[in-house]
Structure 1
């Protein structure tokens, strides 16, 4: 299994309403957080990879740096799963799996 497939396999196991950081995914799979970021940027919708459940270690939606539209979509999907954002727009530690 290549690195991206290992990342996707793990991300598919994150329960609804929970998140992991890029670093946590990387630690569990044995890759660098940047590799996780690249994998999330390239995952196909048809793979049913819940990319939106991967956030920065501080709870920020890192995709906002590149696409405010995707960040809004990520937040919408997480809120639909019951994730409540803190006052600074971050996912609180209580939602980390």
Structure 2
């Protein structure tokens, strides 16, 4: 496993319940500011194996990103987040100024 993947997994695992990070934010904290798509691949292929809280990763606009054919996954993601206390706005977004989580020592990864 490469260093970026190890860092991304560690960061995702540490996101506390009721908080979120964006794909790009995880990528930057893991050392690859342009690696948001890599974070998507990590979540897709490794969430189950590493028990990643995949539902805590959202897009930069505060929304849930799911392919059209995976709409039920988006519904589950919203349900998981709401059970953790995350409130969605009337337009279906999460207020990042309230719920975004920042690792304290991102350079440490």
Q: What TM-score do the two structures reach when normalised by structure 1?
A: 0.91
Which residue matches 1:51? 54
Which residue matches 1:35? 38
Q: What TM-score do the two structures reach when normalised by structure 2?
A: 0.81
Q: Which runs of 5+ in 1 are unaligned?
A: none
Which residue matches 2:107? none
Return the alpha-carbon distance in structure 2 between the equivalents of residues 43 and 5 of structure 1: 11
In the TM superposition, structure 1's runs of 4+ consecutive aligned residues that sit over 4 Å from their partners are none
Q: Is the 8 A contact 2:55 2:80 kept in 1?
A: yes
Shift of 1:48: 1.5
How many positions carry a matched residue from both structures?
97
Tell which structure's C-alpha radius of gyration is larger. Answer: 2
Which residue matches 1:86? 89
Q: Is the 8 A contact 1:83 1:95 kept in 2?
A: yes
* Alignment partner of 1:96 out of 82, 100, 107: 100
Deviates most, 12-21 or 37-46: 37-46
Which residue matches 1:13? 14
Q: Is the 8 A contact 2:47 2:53 kept in 1?
A: no
